[in-house]
Structure formats: C-alpha cells, structure tokens
Amino acid sequence: MKKLLLLSAISLIVTGNAYAAKEFLNVSYDPTREFYQEYNKSFGQFWKSKTGQDIEFKQSHGGSGKQARSVVDGLQADVVTLALANDIDEIVNAGLIEKGWQKEFPNNSAPYTSTVVFLVRKGNPKAIKDWNDLVKPGVEIITPNPKTGGAPRWIYLSAWGYALKQPGGNDAKARELVKQIYKNVKVLDSGARGSLTTFADRGIGDVLLSWENEAILATSGPDKDKYQIIYPSISILAEPSVAIVDKVVDKDGNRNLAKGYLNYLYSPVGQDLAAKYNFRPRNAKAAAKYSAKFPKIKLFTIDQVFGGWAKAQKTHFANGGIYDQFTAEK
C-alpha cells in the first residue's frame, strides 16, 4: 500500500512538472514589442499542442546595447532577440552564450531584416530626399543614441556607407557628412521607440531617422496622414539577430523550449507575423506575399562596407571611437 501511495505521489509530481507553466524570458530591442506580444501567443499555442506545456512568457525591451549589458549584468534571459550581432557578441564575451551562435539558426541567426528610412512631416516641408539633405541648415533631426541603441548604429553606418559610395567618396568625406548630420540632431533618445515618441507624440523635429518597421507603424496608425516615408537612394541591410543564452537555459532547463521558440521565427507563421509587424521576411514565399509593403531599394551589407560588426564597433562606437570624437568636437 505504501509503495502504491509513493508511486502515485511520484506520478503526480512528474505530471505536475510536465504541465506546469514554464517561465520564459525573451530580452529584445525597442521596436519589437507588438511583434513578440502576438508571436508569443502563437508560439505558446503551437508549443502546447505539441508538448501539453503552458509557457508564461516574459518580455524585456529597450535599446539593444543597453539590453545586452543587462543580460551581461545578470538579467536571466532564455533567449535574446537583439538589433545586431555585435550586441550578442558582447554576451558571448561575458561567457553566457557559446561562440558560433550564428551557425545555430539559418541566415546567420537573423530571421528577418529591416533597413533605415526617413520619416518626415506630411508634404516633406524641408524637402529631404537623401542623406546629404540632412545637413542643410535648419533641419532638425531626431535619432537614437548609437552608444545605447542598435538602430542608431545601423543609421550612422547607413549614412557613412552612402558617403563612401558617392563619386569620389572616401572615409574623410564620410566622416564629415556624418559629423554634420549629428550636429543637426535635436534630440538623442536612448532607443528607437523613444525617438518615435519624440517625433510623433511630442511633435519635435523635421525628420526621424528610423527603422523601416517603426516608420511603417507611424504611417499606418491613427495619425497616418501626418507623416510620410522617404526612402534614401541607398541604405543598409539591417539584420537583427537571435540567440539562445546557453548558461541560462542550461540552468533553468529551457534549452529545448528556447530552440523551438527561435526556430518558430523561420516557420511560415513566424515569417508572416514578422511581415505583419513590418519586418522584412527571409522566406521567399513570405517576401513575395508582402512585396507591395516593402519597396525594393539599393542596400549594402555591413560586411561589404565595414568588414563586419566587430570592426565597425571598434572603429566607430567603442569608447574613444569616431562617434565619441564627434561628441568631443561639438
């Protein structure tokens, strides 16, 4: 009898553990809030149908660089879905993510892409059409801080790459253009969503240098008639990256869940949701389905122009780098 009771108790414990809601934290960057809110619901239903397990999803959002530092400082993320690979490499350097993380998922662990565009007031009163127009006298720019966010580093490098690709373009001319752009910055927020709020809700500035997905959000909301998107002649292919935080999932037992969660981003449902929330899908079928939403523009990659993120980060954004030199010269 005692043996039967003991077996029943063990059975209850195993069953309870199998079906108890698991806590799961995705630490992400600023403009993915709405996307992951719906994505979590969809994945949660999928996961329960396969495993019977409920998931208690938790989200953390902010400037990508700040988010990476939060994980390094102890925020217990099961996965990170950040704005750029270098922020994940910072977590690798802290020993929390294994090297080679970009090989774990397709497309160098970047399941969707975006680019940099200009959001202007309706009618484009300052006649901003390309990167060189941003240095005109009297143009007030809103953009996030490259020291804290991911979007602003893509933005900065987009402008630099544009200058390099002009006739006679070189690093000296690129440096001068980017320096003059930052002289026209009116408000430097810590992340992309903060900059959108400054531009749209507070009504400050003539142009927002923005993720494409944030600009589409602004032009499809209740105030859509107040703004328009300007696509520059050339921009950068922004590749937000994802990774499992190995040290955390090995401790909390969420490795299989984390793999399933990030793999689902590449599924037809995940790609459709990415497109719905204005990220460019990687899947060819999804890209064709949403082609009207995402105009074809000339893009360059960070590897082509800057030799990859590690080199770009060290040259431009590390302490004492070119961006800090601009700040000191103001």
H, E, C per residue of 131-195:
HHHHHCCCCCEEEECCCCCCHHHHHHHHHHHHHHCCCCCCHHHHHHHHHHHHHCEEEEECCHHHH
Q: What is the pLDDT of residue 221?
A: 79
Residue 49 has pLDDT above 70, yes or no: yes
Write out the two tokens for 213.
């997905």
**Dihedral angle computed from the Cα positions of residues 155, 230, 182 and 159, in that order, rounded to the nearest 10 degrees:** 50
pLDDT in tens, 248-273: 999 999 999 999 999 999 999 999 99
pLDDT in tens, 208-249: 999 999 999 999 978 889 999 999 999 999 999 999 999 999
> Quick one: pLDDT at residue 330?
63
Query: Cα separation of 234 and 161, whole Å?
Result: 8
In tens, the pLDDT along 97-126 reads 999 999 999 999 999 999 999 999 999 999
Beta-bridge mates of residue 316: none
CATH of 116-237+298-329, one of 3.20.20.70, 3.40.50.150, 3.40.190.10, 3.40.50.300: 3.40.190.10
Q: Name the pairing type of β-strands 235-236 and 299-300.
A: parallel
d(CA 92, CA 111): 19
pLDDT digits (tens, 9 = 90+) for 38-48: 999 999 999 99
When pLDDT is cut at 50, 70 and 90, the band that residue 7 belongs to is very low
- The dotted CATH code for 20-112+239-289 is 3.40.190.10
Name the residue with higher pLDDT: 220 or 163: 163
Residue 14 scores a pLDDT above 60: no
Topology alike, domains 20-112+239-289 and 116-237+298-329: yes
DSSP conformation class of 21: P
- What are the sequence ranges of the domains in the chain? 20-112+239-289, 116-237+298-329
The pLDDT score that the predictor gives to residue 8 is: 37
CA 176/CA 167 separation, integer angstroms: 15
